[in-house]
Chains A and B, each alone.
Chain A
Amino acid sequence: MIASRTLAWALFAAWITWFFALQARLSAGSSAAPWVPDLGLVLSLSLLARLEEREAPVLALVLALSRSAFSSEPAVALLAGSLGLVLLALAARSVVELTGPLWRALITGGLVLSFDLWLALVQAARSPDAIGRLPVGAGALLAAALSSATLALVAGPALAHLPGLTPLRRRPW
């Protein structure tokens, strides 16, 4: 039982690493970068909708670790962001049904917006004299949230059913 869950987490780490790599590659130098959905976060939130609450911190840790493999963000900011994201998602899950298409899309969009806003805030806070404002516009943040919400709407259940993740899903869809 423990071995199968460990293997499932390892496979989740592999999947999310691939998703972040793909997301980074699609964004690099592209004028449409804000419209690239946050694939890694959408996958995480799709899984979180069915994950046991006691395992949510593991998801936050794997999320932060895999994103840091490609990111120049400070590790502590990624860790805080992913833990905050998971806590918000759990709070939302206790109020609405995240497996339903509408709520799934709305919550995913809102949380992606919050996560990106958090990282932008940290970047601005660490070089206040240099930037003096958020390094990314509200329109671009909304575009990323919208595309992520759309992806969650269309492919959320499919993402949660990626090969190897079955032991992590506890609640039926």
Chain B
Amino acid sequence: MGSSRSRTLHLIVFLFLAALSLRPWKSFEDKIEVAFEPARALRGLTLPLAWLSAREVRAAETALLAGEDSRRATGRAVLASAQTSAAPADLALARGRGLIHAEVVARALDDPNRAIVRFAPGSEVARGMPAVCGDFYVGRVVSVDPSRPGEGAIDLVTGKDFRVGGAVFDPGSGSGGRTAGEPALLVVGGVVPRGREKAELLLATHCPSDPSLAAGLVRVREIDAPGNDPYRGLADGFRLGSLERVQRGGTNLLAVRPGLDYSSGLFQIAVVCPSQHAAAGLNLAQDPFVEDRWLDGHLALAGDPSFWREGRVLSAGTDQGVEDGAALSLGASFLGCVVRAGHSTSKVRLLGDAGLEFSALANPESGGRPLAPGTSDAPFTIGRLVSLGRDRSDGVLLLRWEAAIPLEMDGSNGPVQAVLYTASGQRAVPPGLRIGTTVLPRGRGPFLLRVRQEQDGLSFTRVRVWRGLRASGRPDGQENDRP
């Protein structure tokens, strides 16, 4: 760089790389990662450093694996119990209908309002069947992929063009020309504009039969809808939410406040079908503890040169079946995710790495019982959690919880002690892996959760990497998994 010309050239290269760092260009970045991968062999030079702490690392791993059988049994029980939250608690809604359990595994790449779901292969799921979560209507089946038995897509009621008929059971019935007890009718579908400040998600309403409507419980009413859809009446009676008037962008709008967190809290659902189609028994769609769905891996030396990060390098890559976003565990404990799989090595983020996102469900320990959603004593989905790092003073994980749907528990009024587990919603992360214990506050979030893990895994060398259905030779899907 003797001349000003070469300095200028290097400055241009720097600016180009800096721009690509901040606004990634995937194909170019992939090439750089491939070019850098052989450098990870340099780790071999530092093996003696790992030997220094080998004994304490082995002891920590052994401690975590102790009692593994009971932890797996608990994980399976929590999962099975969580699945029951998909069924309606209101027995009147279940009567005369069949329910096929399904699990959201991802969102469609090109449409966040379309959920990819997995159900028991052989279930008679068909286009047009309604999908519900507990007592709440979610959307309807839009396609069943014949090339992927047990998989289909569901259009959510939040979609811009989605429409479903509704009936409003409001305290002021009798107004607007209606007789007492007669519900007003409207159409629900899409969401009201959320503005720049990303206001809470509310469902949009259309064509109310009574313009003076201001409040009430909205339930699906499709039986009178035109068309030849044989399944249209199956969703009648399921809840859409509560009607209210809101100000958005200077306009007074009639909107439905949903009882579900559609953006990040929808994982266990049921497809409603005629009663003769119902599948028998529970479907543990992704048993997280089946051995051949895991790959044994080895982590390089503990730590990351950037002291605030919790990254590691895994000695396995795509050649061994590792994919981007794949879960990392030791035994039944969730440790982190693969962030980028190379050919023979992969970059890994542990749970304390700020920015890591995953979905979780909570199993209350203090005897509380969730009233919404699900309305049962089952573990309940708390939705997406985002890591904000780790409190270095005591080692607890700091996770941001949006809590878009406030937690309401009967019993005591205090916060709820709970064990967190991974939830479905990401194809490469199986549900049912233990995260840690925390205290869940009530009310609307966001909240900062302090989660205590049994072991943080920062120094572990042995891990398992989820390869899921790849183990049985199934191809990748076109979904938008969150790593």
Contact = CB atoms under 8 A, between A and B. Distances in A.
A23 B302 CA distance: 10
Interface stretch (A95-103, A126-134, A150-158, A159-167): A126-134
A27 B354 CA distance: 16
A66 to B, nearest CB: 6
Given A65-B36, A130-B355, A131-B388, A23 B305 contact: yes
Interface residues of B, number: 63
Contacts of A28: 302-304, 458-459
SS class of chain B's interface: helix, strand, loop or mixed? mixed
B17 A53 contact: no
Given A17-B45, A74-B21, A80-B18, A90 B1 contact: yes
Nearest to B39: A65
Interface in B1-16: 1-2, 6-7, 10-11, 13-14
Contacts of A144: 307
A140 B354 CA distance: 15
A8 interface: no
A36 B307 CA distance: 8
Contacts, number: 183
A17 to B, nearest CB: 5
A47 B46 CA distance: 22
Residue among A54, A71, A73, A140 with the most chain B CB within 10 A? A71
Interface in A57-94: 57, 64-77, 79-81, 83-84, 87, 90
A56 interface: yes
A131 B1 contact: no
B389 interface: yes
B194 to A, nearest CB: 14
Contact of A53 (B2, B21, B349): B2
Contact of A131 (B28, B347, B354): B354
B42 A31 contact: no
Nearest to A85: B14
B458 A84 contact: no
Contacts of A65: 36, 39, 42
Interface residues of A, number: 62
Given A25-B303, A77-B21, A84 B308 contact: no
B179 interface: no
A75 B33 contact: yes
A22 B1 CA distance: 31
Residue among A54, A72, A120 with the most chain B CB within 10 A? A72
B308 A135 contact: yes
Contacts of B386: 130-131
A135 B389 contact: yes
Contacts of B45: 14, 17-18, 21
Contacts of B310: 72
A21 B355 contact: no
Residue among A30, A40, A70, A74 with the most chain B CB within 10 A? A70
Contacts of B40: 68-69
